[in-house]
Structure 1
Protein backbone atom coordinates (compact mmCIF):
# COMPACT_ATOMS: atom_id res chain seq x y z
CA UNK A 1 0.00 0.00 0.00
CA UNK A 2 1.39 3.41 -1.02
CA UNK A 3 1.51 6.13 1.63
CA UNK A 4 1.05 9.80 0.76
CA UNK A 5 3.75 12.19 1.86
CA UNK A 6 1.59 15.06 3.11
CA UNK A 7 4.46 17.52 2.79
CA UNK A 8 4.53 16.76 -0.93
CA UNK A 9 0.75 17.07 -1.11
CA UNK A 10 0.82 20.44 0.65
CA UNK A 11 3.53 21.73 -1.68
CA UNK A 12 1.41 20.69 -4.67
CA UNK A 13 -1.67 22.31 -3.11
CA UNK A 14 0.16 25.59 -2.55
CA UNK A 15 1.66 25.64 -6.06
CA UNK A 16 -1.83 25.15 -7.52
CA UNK A 17 -3.40 27.76 -5.24
CA UNK A 18 -0.69 30.38 -5.85
CA UNK A 19 -0.68 29.69 -9.60
CA UNK A 20 3.09 29.48 -9.99
CA UNK A 21 6.11 27.62 -8.69
CA UNK A 22 7.90 30.90 -7.91
CA UNK A 23 5.11 32.30 -5.71
CA UNK A 24 4.77 29.02 -3.81
CA UNK A 25 8.55 28.83 -3.31
CA UNK A 26 8.62 32.35 -1.86
CA UNK A 27 5.77 31.58 0.50
CA UNK A 28 7.36 28.31 1.66
CA UNK A 29 10.88 29.81 1.72
CA UNK A 30 12.16 26.97 -0.41
CA UNK A 31 14.01 26.95 -3.71
CA UNK A 32 12.06 26.29 -6.89
CA UNK A 33 14.31 23.31 -7.62
CA UNK A 34 13.42 21.75 -4.25
CA UNK A 35 9.71 22.25 -4.90
CA UNK A 36 10.06 20.78 -8.38
CA UNK A 37 11.67 17.64 -6.97
CA UNK A 38 8.93 17.22 -4.34
CA UNK A 39 6.24 17.68 -6.99
CA UNK A 40 7.88 15.12 -9.26
CA UNK A 41 7.93 12.59 -6.42
CA UNK A 42 4.19 13.15 -5.80
CA UNK A 43 3.48 12.68 -9.52
CA UNK A 44 5.50 9.43 -9.48
CA UNK A 45 3.36 8.22 -6.57
CA UNK A 46 0.15 9.16 -8.44
CA UNK A 47 1.44 7.68 -11.67
CA UNK A 48 0.18 10.71 -13.60
CA UNK A 49 1.14 14.30 -14.31
CA UNK A 50 -0.61 16.89 -12.12
CA UNK A 51 0.34 20.00 -14.14
CA UNK A 52 0.43 20.60 -17.87
CA UNK A 53 3.86 22.13 -18.40
CA UNK A 54 3.43 22.46 -22.17
CA UNK A 55 1.42 25.65 -21.78
CA UNK A 56 2.85 29.08 -20.98
CA UNK A 57 1.07 29.14 -17.61
CA UNK A 58 1.11 26.34 -15.05
CA UNK A 59 -2.21 24.54 -15.59
CA UNK A 60 -3.72 21.64 -13.66
CA UNK A 61 -4.38 18.47 -15.61
CA UNK A 62 -7.65 16.60 -15.13
CA UNK A 63 -5.98 14.42 -12.50
CA UNK A 64 -4.42 17.53 -10.97
CA UNK A 65 -7.85 19.10 -10.48
CA UNK A 66 -9.12 15.96 -8.73
CA UNK A 67 -6.07 15.85 -6.44
CA UNK A 68 -6.37 19.58 -5.73
CA UNK A 69 -10.02 19.20 -4.67
CA UNK A 70 -9.11 16.38 -2.29
CA UNK A 71 -6.09 18.29 -0.96
CA UNK A 72 -8.23 21.37 -0.32
CA UNK A 73 -10.65 19.30 1.74
CA UNK A 74 -7.84 17.54 3.62
CA UNK A 75 -6.15 20.75 4.69
CA UNK A 76 -9.46 22.47 5.38
CA UNK A 77 -10.39 19.64 7.74
CA UNK A 78 -6.94 19.89 9.34
CA UNK A 79 -7.48 23.59 10.07
CA UNK A 80 -10.95 22.85 11.38
CA UNK A 81 -9.61 20.13 13.66
CA UNK A 82 -6.98 22.46 15.14
CA UNK A 83 -9.54 25.21 15.68
CA UNK A 84 -11.95 22.75 17.30
CA UNK A 85 -9.24 21.59 19.71
CA UNK A 86 -8.09 25.15 20.46
CA UNK A 87 -11.64 26.32 21.10
CA UNK A 88 -12.68 23.41 23.30
CA UNK A 89 -14.70 24.39 26.35
CA UNK A 90 -12.18 22.77 28.68
CA UNK A 91 -9.43 25.10 27.43
CA UNK A 92 -11.31 28.31 28.27
CA UNK A 93 -13.85 30.54 26.50
CA UNK A 94 -14.97 29.46 23.04
CA UNK A 95 -13.24 31.46 20.29
CA UNK A 96 -15.29 33.12 17.54
CA UNK A 97 -13.46 34.54 14.52
CA UNK A 98 -15.46 37.26 12.75
CA UNK A 99 -14.64 38.92 9.44
CA UNK A 100 -16.06 42.40 8.81
CA UNK A 101 -16.06 44.07 5.40
CA UNK A 102 -13.97 47.22 5.76
CA UNK A 103 -16.78 49.43 4.46
CA UNK A 104 -19.36 48.17 6.99
CA UNK A 105 -20.22 50.86 9.60
CA UNK A 106 -18.49 50.24 12.93
CA UNK A 107 -21.86 50.48 14.68
CA UNK A 108 -23.05 47.38 12.80
CA UNK A 109 -19.85 45.45 13.56
CA UNK A 110 -20.29 46.43 17.22
CA UNK A 111 -23.79 44.92 17.26
CA UNK A 112 -22.47 41.58 15.94
CA UNK A 113 -19.72 41.40 18.58
CA UNK A 114 -22.15 42.28 21.38
CA UNK A 115 -24.56 39.61 20.14
CA UNK A 116 -21.77 37.00 20.33
CA UNK A 117 -20.98 37.95 23.93
CA UNK A 118 -24.68 37.74 24.80
CA UNK A 119 -24.88 34.10 23.69
CA UNK A 120 -22.14 32.68 25.93
CA UNK A 121 -18.72 33.27 27.44
CA UNK A 122 -16.42 33.64 24.44
CA UNK A 123 -13.28 35.21 23.01
CA UNK A 124 -14.10 37.27 19.89
CA UNK A 125 -11.48 37.99 17.24
CA UNK A 126 -12.39 40.58 14.57
CA UNK A 127 -10.64 41.02 11.22
CA UNK A 128 -11.42 43.78 8.71
CA UNK A 129 -10.62 43.31 5.03
CA UNK A 130 -12.10 43.29 1.54
CA UNK A 131 -14.81 40.84 0.53
CA UNK A 132 -12.60 38.51 -1.53
CA UNK A 133 -10.03 38.09 1.24
CA UNK A 134 -12.70 37.54 3.90
CA UNK A 135 -14.56 34.89 1.91
CA UNK A 136 -11.26 33.14 1.17
CA UNK A 137 -10.48 33.00 4.89
CA UNK A 138 -14.03 31.79 5.58
CA UNK A 139 -13.70 28.93 3.06
CA UNK A 140 -10.39 27.90 4.63
CA UNK A 141 -12.00 28.08 8.11
CA UNK A 142 -9.75 30.84 9.43
CA UNK A 143 -13.01 32.73 10.02
CA UNK A 144 -16.32 31.46 11.43
CA UNK A 145 -18.58 34.20 10.01
CA UNK A 146 -18.27 37.12 7.60
CA UNK A 147 -20.36 40.31 7.60
CA UNK A 148 -20.58 42.00 4.18
CA UNK A 149 -22.94 44.14 2.12
CA UNK A 150 -23.60 41.51 -0.55
CA UNK A 151 -24.73 37.91 -0.84
CA UNK A 152 -21.81 35.48 -1.02
CA UNK A 153 -21.39 33.74 -4.40
CA UNK A 154 -22.86 30.28 -3.98
CA UNK A 155 -21.64 27.15 -5.76
CA UNK A 156 -22.13 23.46 -5.05
CA UNK A 157 -18.54 23.22 -3.75
CA UNK A 158 -18.22 26.49 -1.82
CA UNK A 159 -20.11 25.32 1.26
CA UNK A 160 -21.12 28.95 1.88
CA UNK A 161 -24.56 30.11 2.95
CA UNK A 162 -25.73 33.66 3.61
CA UNK A 163 -28.61 35.35 5.39
CA UNK A 164 -29.70 38.96 5.04
CA UNK A 165 -29.62 40.57 8.50
CA UNK A 166 -30.59 44.13 7.51
CA UNK A 167 -32.23 46.02 4.65
CA UNK A 168 -31.39 49.69 5.16
CA UNK A 169 -32.29 52.95 3.40
CA UNK A 170 -29.44 54.94 1.84
CA UNK A 171 -29.30 58.53 3.05
CA UNK A 172 -27.38 61.55 1.80
CA UNK A 173 -25.72 63.53 4.60
CA UNK A 174 -23.93 66.87 4.68
CA UNK A 175 -22.97 69.71 6.97
CA UNK A 176 -25.50 72.39 7.93
CA UNK A 177 -24.51 74.60 5.01
CA UNK A 178 -26.15 72.09 2.68
CA UNK A 179 -29.55 72.34 4.42
CA UNK A 180 -31.11 74.20 1.42
CA UNK A 181 -30.53 71.06 -0.67
CA UNK A 182 -33.34 69.34 1.23
CA UNK A 183 -35.71 71.16 -1.08
CA UNK A 184 -36.11 69.49 -4.47
CA UNK A 185 -33.99 66.49 -3.42
CA UNK A 186 -32.56 64.56 -5.22
CA UNK A 187 -32.28 67.00 -8.15
CA UNK A 188 -30.75 69.50 -5.74
CA UNK A 189 -27.50 67.48 -5.53
CA UNK A 190 -26.67 68.20 -9.18
CA UNK A 191 -23.34 69.99 -9.32
CA UNK A 192 -22.72 69.56 -5.60
CA UNK A 193 -19.43 68.02 -4.32
CA UNK A 194 -19.87 64.32 -3.52
CA UNK A 195 -17.61 61.60 -2.13
CA UNK A 196 -18.45 58.07 -3.26
CA UNK A 197 -17.57 54.73 -1.68
CA UNK A 198 -14.53 53.07 -3.27
CA UNK A 199 -14.94 51.08 -6.47
CA UNK A 200 -14.99 47.64 -4.78
CA UNK A 201 -18.13 48.59 -2.83
CA UNK A 202 -21.52 47.39 -4.05
CA UNK A 203 -23.01 50.68 -2.84
CA UNK A 204 -20.70 52.56 -5.22
CA UNK A 205 -22.11 50.70 -8.23
CA UNK A 206 -25.68 51.07 -6.97
CA UNK A 207 -25.21 54.85 -6.58
CA UNK A 208 -23.67 55.26 -10.03
CA UNK A 209 -26.55 53.29 -11.55
CA UNK A 210 -29.08 55.43 -9.68
CA UNK A 211 -27.36 58.65 -10.82
CA UNK A 212 -27.40 57.50 -14.44
CA UNK A 213 -31.00 56.27 -14.33
CA UNK A 214 -32.26 59.51 -12.77
CA UNK A 215 -29.91 61.82 -14.71
CA UNK A 216 -28.31 63.10 -11.53
CA UNK A 217 -24.94 64.80 -11.93
CA UNK A 218 -23.26 65.44 -8.57
CA UNK A 219 -19.64 66.66 -8.81
CA UNK A 220 -17.66 63.66 -7.58
CA UNK A 221 -14.51 64.92 -5.87
CA UNK A 222 -13.23 61.70 -4.34
CA UNK A 223 -13.75 58.13 -3.25
CA UNK A 224 -13.01 56.30 -0.01
CA UNK A 225 -13.55 52.90 1.58
CA UNK A 226 -13.26 54.35 5.09
CA UNK A 227 -16.67 55.47 6.34
CA UNK A 228 -15.22 57.36 9.30
CA UNK A 229 -13.14 59.50 6.92
CA UNK A 230 -16.18 60.11 4.71
CA UNK A 231 -18.20 61.34 7.68
CA UNK A 232 -15.44 63.68 8.81
CA UNK A 233 -15.08 65.16 5.33
CA UNK A 234 -18.85 65.68 5.24
CA UNK A 235 -18.75 67.21 8.72
CA UNK A 236 -16.10 69.71 7.61
CA UNK A 237 -18.35 70.79 4.73
CA UNK A 238 -16.16 69.49 1.92
CA UNK A 239 -18.76 67.20 0.34
CA UNK A 240 -21.96 65.23 0.57
CA UNK A 241 -21.85 61.51 1.34
CA UNK A 242 -24.29 58.62 1.02
CA UNK A 243 -24.48 55.81 3.56
CA UNK A 244 -26.97 53.52 5.24
CA UNK A 245 -28.89 55.10 8.10
CA UNK A 246 -28.27 52.47 10.79
CA UNK A 247 -27.52 53.98 14.19
CA UNK A 248 -26.37 57.42 13.11
CA UNK A 249 -23.28 58.67 14.89
CA UNK A 250 -23.43 61.31 17.65
CA UNK A 251 -22.49 64.16 15.33
CA UNK A 252 -25.53 63.26 13.22
CA UNK A 253 -27.75 62.99 16.27
CA UNK A 254 -26.61 66.36 17.65
CA UNK A 255 -27.25 68.12 14.35
CA UNK A 256 -23.69 68.81 13.20
CA UNK A 257 -24.25 66.47 10.26
CA UNK A 258 -27.74 66.62 8.78
CA UNK A 259 -29.87 64.38 6.62
CA UNK A 260 -30.29 65.91 3.16
CA UNK A 261 -32.56 63.25 1.71
CA UNK A 262 -33.25 59.55 1.25
CA UNK A 263 -32.77 57.67 -2.02
CA UNK A 264 -36.15 55.93 -1.95
CA UNK A 265 -35.24 53.47 -4.71
CA UNK A 266 -31.98 52.40 -3.09
CA UNK A 267 -31.36 50.02 -0.19
CA UNK A 268 -28.16 48.64 1.34
CA UNK A 269 -28.40 45.07 2.52
CA UNK A 270 -26.13 43.56 5.15
CA UNK A 271 -25.40 39.83 4.87
CA UNK A 272 -23.99 37.36 7.38
CA UNK A 273 -22.22 34.42 5.74
CA UNK A 274 -21.10 31.12 7.22
CA UNK A 275 -19.52 27.96 5.86
CA UNK A 276 -20.37 24.29 6.30
CA UNK A 277 -18.20 22.71 9.00
CA UNK A 278 -17.87 19.19 10.36
CA UNK A 279 -17.36 20.61 13.86
CA UNK A 280 -19.84 23.43 14.41
CA UNK A 281 -18.95 26.50 16.45
CA UNK A 282 -22.17 26.85 18.51
CA UNK A 283 -21.91 30.64 18.95
CA UNK A 284 -21.32 31.20 15.23
CA UNK A 285 -24.20 28.85 14.42
CA UNK A 286 -26.59 30.75 16.69
CA UNK A 287 -25.49 34.13 15.32
CA UNK A 288 -26.10 32.90 11.80
CA UNK A 289 -29.58 31.73 12.78
CA UNK A 290 -30.78 34.62 14.96
CA UNK A 291 -28.68 37.78 14.51
CA UNK A 292 -30.49 40.69 12.88
CA UNK A 293 -30.35 44.47 12.84
CA UNK A 294 -33.36 46.66 13.54
CA UNK A 295 -33.36 49.93 11.65
CA UNK A 296 -33.14 53.03 13.82
CA UNK A 297 -34.35 56.40 12.65
Structure 2
Protein backbone atom coordinates (compact mmCIF):
# COMPACT_ATOMS: atom_id res chain seq x y z
CA UNK A 1 0.00 0.00 0.00
CA UNK A 2 1.21 3.45 -0.87
CA UNK A 3 0.05 6.70 0.58
CA UNK A 4 -2.97 8.09 -1.21
CA UNK A 5 -1.20 11.09 -2.78
CA UNK A 6 1.45 8.77 -4.23
CA UNK A 7 -1.24 6.56 -5.74
CA UNK A 8 -2.94 9.60 -7.28
CA UNK A 9 0.43 10.71 -8.69
CA UNK A 10 0.86 7.23 -10.20
CA UNK A 11 -2.61 7.57 -11.73
CA UNK A 12 -1.72 10.99 -13.13
CA UNK A 13 1.44 9.54 -14.71
CA UNK A 14 -0.57 6.55 -16.03
CA UNK A 15 1.46 4.04 -14.00
CA UNK A 16 -1.88 2.65 -12.74
CA UNK A 17 -5.30 2.68 -14.40
CA UNK A 18 -7.45 3.17 -11.32
CA UNK A 19 -7.23 4.03 -7.62
CA UNK A 20 -9.72 2.92 -4.96
CA UNK A 21 -9.98 5.26 -2.00
CA UNK A 22 -12.34 6.47 0.72
CA UNK A 23 -12.33 10.08 -0.48
CA UNK A 24 -12.57 11.93 -3.76
CA UNK A 25 -10.88 14.98 -2.22
CA UNK A 26 -7.76 16.30 -3.87
CA UNK A 27 -8.18 14.74 -7.29
CA UNK A 28 -7.08 16.78 -10.30
CA UNK A 29 -9.42 18.23 -12.93
CA UNK A 30 -8.47 15.51 -15.41
CA UNK A 31 -9.76 12.74 -13.12
CA UNK A 32 -13.25 11.38 -12.44
CA UNK A 33 -14.44 9.75 -9.22
CA UNK A 34 -17.18 7.12 -9.17
CA UNK A 35 -18.83 6.08 -5.92
CA UNK A 36 -18.78 2.30 -5.93
CA UNK A 37 -19.77 1.35 -2.41
CA UNK A 38 -19.83 2.03 1.30
CA UNK A 39 -17.53 1.15 4.15
CA UNK A 40 -19.73 0.46 7.14
CA UNK A 41 -18.42 0.10 10.69
CA UNK A 42 -19.75 -2.13 13.47
CA UNK A 43 -19.29 -2.72 17.18
CA UNK A 44 -18.92 -6.46 17.82
CA UNK A 45 -18.54 -8.47 21.01
CA UNK A 46 -18.71 -11.95 22.52
CA UNK A 47 -22.27 -13.17 23.02
CA UNK A 48 -21.82 -12.83 26.80
CA UNK A 49 -22.37 -9.08 26.18
CA UNK A 50 -25.68 -9.72 24.37
CA UNK A 51 -27.72 -7.86 27.01
CA UNK A 52 -25.97 -4.64 25.91
CA UNK A 53 -27.22 -4.94 22.33
CA UNK A 54 -30.67 -3.48 23.03
CA UNK A 55 -29.37 -0.18 24.38
CA UNK A 56 -26.80 0.48 21.64
CA UNK A 57 -24.84 2.75 21.58
CA UNK A 58 -25.40 3.89 25.19
CA UNK A 59 -24.44 0.46 26.53
CA UNK A 60 -20.93 0.69 25.04
CA UNK A 61 -19.91 2.77 28.03
CA UNK A 62 -20.33 -0.25 30.31
CA UNK A 63 -18.33 -2.79 28.27
CA UNK A 64 -14.50 -2.93 28.11
CA UNK A 65 -13.17 -1.68 24.76
CA UNK A 66 -10.13 -2.66 22.68
CA UNK A 67 -9.12 0.41 20.68
CA UNK A 68 -6.95 1.19 17.67
CA UNK A 69 -3.46 2.64 17.92
CA UNK A 70 -2.83 6.33 17.31
CA UNK A 71 -1.65 5.66 13.76
CA UNK A 72 -5.10 4.50 12.70
CA UNK A 73 -7.61 6.84 11.03
CA UNK A 74 -10.47 4.93 12.64
CA UNK A 75 -9.25 5.76 16.17
CA UNK A 76 -9.93 9.46 15.67
CA UNK A 77 -13.38 8.75 14.22
CA UNK A 78 -14.23 6.41 17.11
CA UNK A 79 -13.17 9.02 19.67
CA UNK A 80 -15.47 11.55 17.98
CA UNK A 81 -18.30 9.00 18.06
CA UNK A 82 -17.75 8.36 21.78
CA UNK A 83 -17.60 12.08 22.53
CA UNK A 84 -20.75 12.83 20.53
CA UNK A 85 -22.62 10.07 22.37
CA UNK A 86 -21.15 10.96 25.80
CA UNK A 87 -19.50 7.55 26.10
CA UNK A 88 -16.26 6.68 27.84
CA UNK A 89 -15.72 2.92 27.78
CA UNK A 90 -12.79 1.50 29.72
CA UNK A 91 -9.98 0.92 27.21
CA UNK A 92 -8.25 -2.41 27.86
CA UNK A 93 -5.65 -2.13 25.10
CA UNK A 94 -4.80 -0.93 21.62
CA UNK A 95 -3.75 -2.56 18.39
CA UNK A 96 -3.82 -2.30 14.63
CA UNK A 97 -3.99 -5.96 13.61
CA UNK A 98 -7.46 -7.26 12.75
CA UNK A 99 -6.54 -10.77 13.93
CA UNK A 100 -5.77 -9.33 17.36
CA UNK A 101 -9.15 -7.58 17.37
CA UNK A 102 -10.76 -10.91 16.48
CA UNK A 103 -9.00 -12.70 19.35
CA UNK A 104 -9.98 -10.04 21.89
CA UNK A 105 -13.59 -10.25 20.71
CA UNK A 106 -13.77 -14.05 20.60
CA UNK A 107 -12.26 -14.38 24.09
CA UNK A 108 -14.89 -12.00 25.48
CA UNK A 109 -12.32 -9.52 26.77
CA UNK A 110 -14.26 -6.55 25.42
CA UNK A 111 -15.95 -5.11 22.37
CA UNK A 112 -14.18 -3.98 19.22
CA UNK A 113 -15.14 -1.67 16.38
CA UNK A 114 -14.35 -3.04 12.95
CA UNK A 115 -15.10 -2.40 9.26
CA UNK A 116 -17.90 -4.42 7.67
CA UNK A 117 -15.58 -6.84 5.85
CA UNK A 118 -13.85 -7.75 9.13
CA UNK A 119 -17.19 -8.04 10.93
CA UNK A 120 -18.48 -10.43 8.28
CA UNK A 121 -15.37 -12.60 8.50
CA UNK A 122 -15.25 -12.67 12.30
CA UNK A 123 -18.97 -13.35 12.77
CA UNK A 124 -19.00 -16.00 10.04
CA UNK A 125 -16.10 -17.88 11.63
CA UNK A 126 -17.34 -17.68 15.22
CA UNK A 127 -20.96 -18.04 16.28
CA UNK A 128 -20.05 -16.70 19.76
CA UNK A 129 -19.48 -13.21 18.29
CA UNK A 130 -22.45 -10.88 17.88
CA UNK A 131 -23.01 -7.47 16.35
CA UNK A 132 -23.92 -4.92 19.00
CA UNK A 133 -24.76 -2.30 16.39
CA UNK A 134 -23.65 -0.20 13.45
CA UNK A 135 -21.82 3.08 13.96
CA UNK A 136 -23.62 4.86 11.14
CA UNK A 137 -21.65 8.06 11.71
CA UNK A 138 -18.48 6.21 10.69
CA UNK A 139 -19.85 5.16 7.30
CA UNK A 140 -17.57 6.21 4.45
CA UNK A 141 -17.83 5.91 0.69
CA UNK A 142 -15.53 3.89 -1.54
CA UNK A 143 -14.50 5.72 -4.70
CA UNK A 144 -12.96 4.47 -7.91
CA UNK A 145 -10.82 7.20 -9.48
CA UNK A 146 -9.65 7.18 -13.09
CA UNK A 147 -8.29 9.71 -15.56
CA UNK A 148 -11.01 11.24 -17.75
CA UNK A 149 -9.10 10.10 -20.83
CA UNK A 150 -9.04 6.46 -19.67
CA UNK A 151 -11.62 4.17 -21.35
CA UNK A 152 -10.24 0.72 -20.49
CA UNK A 153 -11.70 -2.12 -18.39
CA UNK A 154 -11.65 -0.08 -15.19
CA UNK A 155 -13.78 2.61 -16.84
CA UNK A 156 -16.27 0.00 -18.02
CA UNK A 157 -16.35 -1.52 -14.54
CA UNK A 158 -17.02 1.85 -12.90
CA UNK A 159 -19.68 2.70 -15.50
CA UNK A 160 -21.26 -0.73 -14.86
CA UNK A 161 -20.81 -1.72 -18.51
CA UNK A 162 -19.27 -5.11 -17.69
Match of 1:188 in 2: 59
Secondary structure of residue in 1 paired with 2:159:
helix
**Whole-Å Cα distance in 2 between the matches of residues 129 and 148 of structure 1?**
11
Alignment partner of 1:166 out of 37, 56, 75: 37
More helix, by proportion = 1
Q: Deviations over 1:205-238 (max 9, x none)?
A: 33222211111112332141x4344334322334
**Whole-Å Cα distance in 2 between the matches of residues 243 and 170 of structure 1?**
6
Q: Deviations over 1:136-169 (max 9, x none)?
A: 332332221122222241344xx33222211344
Match of 2:155 in 1: 285
Calculate the aligned-residue CA RMSD, in Å.
2.8
Determine which structure has more spread, i.e. the larger CA radius of gyration: 1
Taking structure 2 as the reference length, the TM-score comes to 0.76
Taking structure 1 as the reference length, the TM-score comes to 0.45
Change (3 A) 1:288 1:252: same
Change (3 A) 1:257 1:135: farther
Q: Deviations over 1:28-78 (max 9, x none)?
A: xxxxxxxxxxxxxxxxxxxxxxxxxxxxxxxxxxxxxxxxxxxxxxxxxxx
Report matched runs for 1:102-251 at 5 Å: 128-156=1-29, 159-190=30-61, 192-196=64-68, 199-201=71-73, 203-220=74-91, 221-224=93-96, 226-246=97-117, 248-249=120-121, 251=122
Runs of 5+ consecutive residues of structure 1 not aligned to the other structure = 1-127, 292-297
Runs of 5+ consecutive residues of structure 2 not aligned to the other structure = none
What is the aligned length?
A: 157
Return the structure number with greater relative CO, CA threshold 8 A, min gap 6: 2
Change (3 A) 1:229 1:184: same
Q: 2:52·2:132 contact (CA, 8 Å) conserved in 1?
A: yes
Match of 1:257 in 2: 129
Q: 1:172·1:242 contact (CA, 8 Å) conserved in 2?
A: yes
Secondary structure of residue in 2 paired with 1:217:
coil
Change (3 A) 1:200 1:135: farther
Change (3 A) 1:150 1:234: farther
Secondary structure of residue in 2 paired with 1:248:
helix
